[in-house]
Amino acid sequence: MEFFTGLDLEKLEKLEKLMSEKHDRTAWIQGGPAQCKTPAVQRDSPQRFVLLGAPGVGKGTQAELLCERLGTCHLSTGDIFRASRCLTPEERSPALDAALDYMHRGDLVPDSTVLDIVRERTRCLRCGGGFLLDGFPRTVAQAEALSELLEEQQIQLTAVLNYDLALDKVVARLSGRRTCPGCKAVFHVTARPPKVPGVCDHCSGSLYQRDDDRPEAIRTRMEVYEKSTKPLIDYYQSRGVLVTIEAEGSPEQIYERTLTALNGRAA
Give me the active site residues, please.
59, 138, 177, 210, 221
Cα separations (Å) of 218 from 44, 51, 91, 188, 245? 42, 21, 37, 16, 21
Q: Which of 62, 41, 33, 38 is nearest to 50 (CA)?
A: 62
H or E element: which one contains 50?
strand 48-53
Query: What does the alpha-carbon distance between residue 95 and residue 217 come to, in Å, rounded to a whole number?
Result: 33
Q: For residue 17, which phi and psi values (nearest 5 degrees)?
A: -65, -40
As a whole number of Å, the end-to-end CA separation of the chain is 45
Contact 202, 187 (CB under 8 A): no
H or E element: which one contains 224?
helix 215-238
